[in-house]
Chain A
């Protein structure tokens, strides 16, 4: 690494540090409030009645989207659209993201599973 580049990088670090120190008072207050809220929220339990809300919202979105994709040309493939829904749904269960292929399979009209009992 050249000395000139070293000097440049050293200067960028100083500027970045200076910018960090210069964060304005209003933003600092907001950050402190965000920190207090995060610490408080982590200690709160989510109301039981809210637990299925995220999953239901996602399931409803998937159902609507499936019908929409069946009736209209797909935007960029059903899986892409499902990923979009998952990304836009902040409340989605993380497991939903791992099961996108499963939901796409369902949306594509999965064959019925065999009955284990016979």
Chain B
């Protein structure tokens, strides 16, 4: 199990970091996912650990998103946050971004580098779109496997993935460093 986790932890961290834009939150997500895998599935055949871990990571990321949305809503309700039309909750939180990166000076500087440009483009996507994209393209999962990892239908995976590819191409293809 130690060897398996050592082999997947960096990729899981990168996925969590893209989702949260926070090193600490990403590390918490990876540790939580590791703990859940070890506690619940250590006895399962090793070949199953990969898909199981991926499903757990995506689930923990979704939980993080929901908790962040809820905290923001309660802070607003309790008057602990400034009223802002941009922060107003609405629709499915998983269809929106938590914090679209500010394309300020740092963002413009980052666009010189391929990794930063891709990170920023992924972070600007709604959670489900960037999850579908990373699982399909990076993890190489099939539509059905991606649907299982994300807990949504295969049709939704196709829609989210297609939109993600289109948006990323629009943003990056002609400006890729």
A residues within 8 Å of B by Cβ?
A: 4-5, 8-9, 11-13, 15-16, 18-23, 27-28, 30-32, 34-35, 37-39, 41-42, 75, 84, 87-88
Contact = CB atoms under 8 A, between A and B. Distances in A.
Given A11-B176, A18-B115, A42-B42, A28 B67 contact: no
B66 A27 contact: no
Contacts of A41: 35, 38-39
Main secondary structure of the interface of B (DSSP, over half): helix
B115 A35 contact: no
B39 A42 contact: yes
Interface stretch (B6-14, B102-110, B146-154): B6-14
Nearest to A38: B34
Contacts of B70: 84, 87-88
Nearest to B177: A15
Contacts of A88: 67, 70-71, 74
Nearest to A81: B74
Contact of B14 (A11, A20, A42, A84): A20
B63 A87 contact: yes
B143 interface: no
Contacts, number: 98
A23 to B, nearest CB: 5
Given A8-B169, A13-B137, A19 B115 contact: yes
B10 A12 contact: no
Interface in B26-83: 27, 30-31, 34-35, 37-39, 42, 63, 66-67, 70-71, 73-74, 77
Give the residue among A21, A30, A34, A75 with the most B Cβ atoms within 10 A.
A34
A31 B14 contact: no
Contacts of B35: 37-38, 41-42
Contact of B10 (A11, A23, A87): A23
Nearest to A1: B165
Contact of B173 (A8, A13, A21): A8
